[in-house]
A and B are shown apart, each in its own frame.
Chain A
Amino acid sequence: MRKPPEINTGSMADISFLLLTFFLLTSSINTDKGIFRKLPPPADPTVKPADIKDRNIFTVLINKNDRLLVEGKPADITMLRQQAKEFLSNPADDPELPEKKLEAIAFLGDYPVSKGVISIQNDRGTSYNMYIKVQNELTAAINELRDELAMNKFNRKFDELTDPDLVSAVQKAIPISISEAEPVDIGGQQ
């Protein structure tokens, strides 16, 4: 009996390659990334906001022209990270900079947690781009402080900590203390 002729399957690979590239191009690995924030719960009008000492607040104002006013002085965004770090860490215990409160944190012992709060206020006419840049710089300041602390205590960067207990210890020692005031409408929306 004669063998039936073999079908040439060499081009099959080409066809499937074509399909593969098609799918690679049309679909997207949805890597949605962003800056995380937790909004404060709805404001209760009956409860008065707690008074915070002036030295414990780091005010960042953004006007409708995207100019910054940091602690009452015009500032540049490139300097913001450094200023925020200095404010939150207060390495020299400067009386102008925020107070610290000793708190017992697991794995860290008594750690002086800064009472400082960064307050951002923006205009309704501020551009979203600028707002994100400011948020990014402030987040970077906190992340750098966390990295330094984690490097000091656990010899690892904050991102590289695998034990969730250590992560929450560092988070407790350096909390994300950014508060946002209600936006004002001075410059108008245009």
Chain B
Amino acid sequence: MARFKSKKSGGVPAINTGSMSDIIFMFLFFFMVITTIRENTLIVKVKVPTATELQKLEKKSLVSYIYVGLPTKKELAGSGTRIQLNDQYSTVDDIGNFLALERQSRDEADRRKLTTSLKVDMETKMGIVADIKQELRKFNALLISYSTRKANEGKLFSGQ
């Protein structure tokens, strides 16, 4: 009898937590796969405007980005609004070259669906945006998306 008693005296048995780490690791890998670490380091300040009528960009691999805003490295690029293509400051004339390279790196079949996402700072004047749009038209990159953040209906006009 004494033998059985000694077994019961241990209190609540410890829960095995060994598999907990496996579950967390699974989460970790899941997040690592679905998220992307931003490819381009921004060298212009971009705070995109807000809007309500948004559409998602369907295929990320078919999007090329053009950033426009005030440069963060003033000693390199001056204080005016600049365009960033890939990792460097560029001018409007570089866009044709940039688009050609972007097209080359995609499959033949996908090239027509290539969308250009314009990430333009909200303080920018339309002049430079108009120049970019003319250039895009010239090189037949007609699908564009003005990148925006989601706004609440009520807050949209509060900035005025």
User: Mask for B87-106, Cβ within 8 A of A = 1, else 0?
Assistant: 00000000000000000000
Given A30-B60, A127-B122, decide whether A13 and B147 contact each other with a Cβ distance below 8 A.
Answer: no
Summed over the interface, the residue pairs from A and B with CB atoms below 8 Å come to a total of: 166
Q: Does A106 interact with chain B (Cβ within 8 Å)?
A: no
Alpha-carbon gap, A38 to B147, bound state (A): 14
Fill in one digit per residue for B46-66: 1 if any A CB lies within 8 Å of its CB, else 0. Answer: 000101111111001001000
Counting chain A residues whose Cβ lies within 8 A of the other chain, the interface size class is 35 or more
Interface flag for B32 (CB, 8 Å): yes
B5 proximal to A (CB < 8 A): no
Q: Evaluate contact between A32 and B31: CB separation under 8 angstroms.
A: no
Which residues of A pack against B, CB within 8 Å?
Answer: 9-10, 12-13, 15-17, 19-20, 23-24, 26-43, 77-78, 122-129, 131-133, 135-136, 139-140, 143, 182-183, 185, 189
Interface residues on B, range: 35 or more
Inter-chain pairs besides A20-B27, A27-B32, A42-B140, 11 sampled, C-beta below 8 Å: A16-B21, A23-B35, A28-B36, A30-B36, A32-B57, A34-B118, A35-B51, A128-B125, A133-B157, A135-B51, A143-B53
Specify which chain A residues have a CB less than 8 angstroms from the CB of B54 in the assembled complex. Answer: 33-35
Q: How far is the CB of A140 from chain B (nearest CB, A)?
A: 5
Given contacts A16-B28, A133-B156, contact A30 B38 (CB under 8 A): yes
Contact B24 A128 (CB under 8 A): no
Instruction: Establish whether residues B117 and A32, one from each chain, have CB atoms under 8 Å apart when the complex forms.
Output: yes
The closest CB in chain A to the CB of B159 belongs to A129
* Residue contact B150 to A33, C-beta cutoff 8 Å: yes
Task: Using CB atoms and an 8 Å cutoff, list the residues of chain B in contact with chain A.
Answer: 17-18, 20-21, 24-25, 27-28, 31-32, 34-38, 49, 51-57, 60, 63, 115, 117-118, 120-127, 129-130, 133-134, 136-138, 140-150, 156-157, 159-160
Given the interface pairs A9-B21, A32-B63, A34-B148, the reply to whether A124 lies near B31 with Cβ below 8 Å is no
List of A residues within 8 angstroms of B160 by Cβ: 77
CB distance from A149 to the nearest CB of B (A): 17
